[in-house]
Amino acid sequence: MDNKNSYCVIMSGGIGSRFWPFSREARPKQFLDFFGTGRSLLQMTVDRFKKILPIENIFIVTNESYAELTMQEVPELSPSQILLEPLRRNTAPCIAYASYHINSINPNANIVVAPSDHLILKEDEFAAVINKALGFVDNHEILLTLGIKPNRPETGYGYIQIDEETVGDINRVKVFTEKPNLDLAKIFYESGEFLWNSGLFIWSVKTIIKAFNDNLSEVATIFNQGKDIYTTDKEQAFIKEQYSYCPSISIDYGIMEKANNVCVIIADFGWSDLGTWGSLHDISDKDKDANASLKCETLFYDSSENIVALPDGKLAVIQGLNNYIVAEVDDILLICQKDQEQRIKQFVADIKLKYGDNYI
């Protein structure tokens, strides 16, 4: 397959509020270096894809307010490779915008869509799967996703049920399901029929634009109006004017759950979506009592299953704490039970109501 037709769209517009207080509106988690490697999650994502396809074929879609930050993070990309959303409308409009833009550059493009804030531990396996996927969609009108073989009953991820029917050696998708409760997650895990939904998608630009026209016509209608405008100096004004008319809807709900040409590759490349403190705890180095500490010094007494994240050089002494998040950033300290971390979004909303935007 000619890799000049391979493109990547990196979605980088989110706030990552479940990772508050590390992830703040001024500097969301995709711009943070979680592991002290000197590379942010976004930079690691770009590094990963420039080994697979030409760097000039990488596009980042982000919010207008992160334009400058994104340019600083990835100076090797030209400004024309940063597509700016005037407001947040979830993943379907984001993917539609990038797809129509790329279609105007290369109507034979095959596209991999990736979040900016995921962790991949096995880079070589990842590259092999992406190359296989790009080759497959070059020859099949299929909406392809990557499903991760689960190693535990996880309630923080969506799931994909595999169909026995295949296209070539790749399974069709039977159904997408939202994040389950623990009992359902155990059933999914034990059945062997379900995969974690990685949020990684691969398709030809022709196939995804057809899918928008067939399944999410209100979005397609908006972007079809700009077919002579993309890549011209009128594009930004068109997007600024039209974007607010898009519904706020995810690609999963808007397209993948409705379409009848969806397949999944079963993959294992050390994936984590780093969506929550719990997922960060899972992949962090831990002591014999499963305590993890990031970028700080810690002494634990009678404590287990905690994650502690303080500014570099700070010392924490933790006694009698089990299964907690302790995170300090600037003028904020969060102490929260790890199994209650889904409430962090609510904490942030309450803080905004009481104290304004100072701590968001």
Residues 268 and 303 in one domain: no
Distance of CA 120 to the CA centre of its chain: 12
User: What is the secondary structure of 125-175 as a DSSP string?
Assistant: HHHHHHHHHHHHHHHS--EEEEEEPPSS--SSS-EEEEEEEEETTEEEEEE
| Of the residues 238, 272, 306, the one at which a domain ends | 272
Tally of domains in the chain: 2
Eight-class DSSP state of 12: -
Please state, in angstroms and rounded to a whole number, the distance separating the CA atoms of residues 96 and 73. Answer: 24
Collapsing DSSP states into helix, strand and coil, what is residue 85? strand
Please state, in angstroms and rounded to a whole number, the distance separating the CA atoms of residues 1 and 157. Answer: 33
Distance of CA 282 to the CA centre of its chain: 18
Please, are residues 118 and 130 in contact by the beta-carbon 8 Å criterion?
Answer: no
Cα 111–115–116 angle (5° rounding)? Answer: 115
Report the largest interatomic distance among the alpha carbons of the chain, rounded to a whole angstrom. Answer: 65
- pLDDT score of 1: 52
360 residues of the chain, pLDDT tens digit each: 568 999 999 999 988 888 999 999 889 999 998 877 889 999 999 999 999 999 999 999 999 999 999 999 999 999 999 999 999 999 999 999 999 999 999 999 999 999 999 999 899 999 999 999 999 999 999 999 999 999 888 888 889 999 999 998 899 999 998 888 889 999 999 998 999 999 999 999 999 999 999 999 999 999 999 999 999 999 999 999 999 999 999 999 999 999 999 999 999 998 988 888 988 998 899 999 999 998 889 999 999 999 999 988 899 999 999 999 999 998 999 999 998 998 999 999 999 999 999 899
Please state, in angstroms and rounded to a whole number, the distance separating the CA atoms of residues 311 and 309. Answer: 7
Collapsing DSSP states into helix, strand and coil, what is residue 191? helix
On whether residue 70 sits in a domain, the answer given is: yes
Q: Which domain holds residue 41?
A: 6-272
On whether residue 360 sits in a domain, the answer given is: no
Residues 218 and 71 in one domain: yes
Residues 51 and 77 in one domain: yes
Please state, in angstroms and rounded to a whole number, the distance separating the CA atoms of residues 211 and 23. Answer: 34
Residues 212 and 85 in one domain: yes
Rounded to 5 degrees, φ, ψ at 294 are: -115, 125
Residues 124 and 157 in one domain: yes
Residues 259 and 291 in one domain: no
Collapsing DSSP states into helix, strand and coil, what is residue 120? strand
Residues 155 and 244 in one domain: yes
CATH of the domain at 31: 3.90.550.10
Two structure tokens written together for 100: 């129509």
Please, are residues 30 and 40 in contact by the beta-carbon 8 Å criterion?
Answer: yes
Buried b (16+ CB within 10 A) or exposed e, 289-322: ebbbbbebebebeebebbbbbbeeeeebebeebe
Provide the 10 A C-beta neighbour count for residue 257.
16
pTM: 0.93
Query: For residue 141, is it left (φ>0), alpha (ψ between -120 and 50) or beta?
Result: beta
Please, are residues 132 and 28 in contact by the beta-carbon 8 Å criterion?
Answer: no
On whether residue 1 sits in a domain, the answer given is: no
Collapsing DSSP states into helix, strand and coil, what is residue 304? strand
Cα 84–86–88 angle (5° rounding)? Answer: 100
On whether residue 284 sits in a domain, the answer given is: yes
Residues 210 and 256 in one domain: yes
Q: Encode pLDDT of 122-140 as tens digits.
A: 999 999 999 999 999 999 9
Residues 136 and 168 in one domain: yes
